[in-house]
Amino acid sequence: MNHADLAEKLFREGYNCSQAVLLAFSDVTGLDDDTAAKIASSFGGGLGRMREVCGAVSGAAMVLGLAKGYSDPKDFEAKKAHYKLIQDFAKRFKEKNGSIICRDLLSGVRTVENGAPEARTDGYYKKRPCPLLVRDAAQLLEEFL
């Protein structure tokens, strides 16, 4: 199964968008599933369901950080190059989907108030583009890796 198929499958199993992308790339990151799921758990729904940056984009950024990131805080060139990589990824995702902001991507989708997660029903999947956004992020991530 390729990364995009796996990311969508994981999302449909109940993982949030960020978890689904990070978990799908465990062969790249070397993270075990429990660690990856915990690291990405806060980023679902646009950061704790606040509808900010799409969790699928955040998950992809985590993969890119683990695969191509920098660790020396004094290495300005590495930092600059990595930020450019993330900006390029975000630009490409936005070109395809119209935004990297969850609330924009879910424009017109009525959701439960108070930021509580919703039950994953057939209706849930029918009214939101999240499975496709997770797939798009994973496919695009393949190109960047």
Total residue length of the chain:
145
Q: What pLDDT shows up at residue 82?
A: 98
Summarised one tens digit per residue, pLDDT across range 112-124 is 566 666 666 666 6
Per-residue pLDDT of 58-103, as tens digits, reads 999 999 999 999 999 999 999 999 999 999 999 999 999 999 999 9
Residue 70 has what pLDDT? 98
The predicted pLDDT at position 123 comes to 62
Asked if residue 74 lies in contact with residue 40, where contact means CB atoms within 8 angstroms, the answer is no
**Does the reported pTM lie above 0.85?**
yes
Q: pLDDT, tens digit, for every residue of 11-24? A: 999 999 999 999 99
Tell me, what's the pLDDT at 112?
58
Residues 6 or more apart whose Cβ sits within 8 Å of residue 57: 89, 90, 93, 100, 137
Question: Which has the closest alpha carbon to 88: 20, 143, 19, 10?
Answer: 143
**Is 141:90 a contact under the CB 8 Å cutoff?**
no
- pLDDT tens digits, 32-51: 999 999 999 999 999 999 99
Burial classification of residue 26, based on how many CB atoms lie within 10 Å of its CB (0-12 exposed, 13-18 middle, 19 or more buried) = middle
In the chain, the amino acid numbered 23 is L
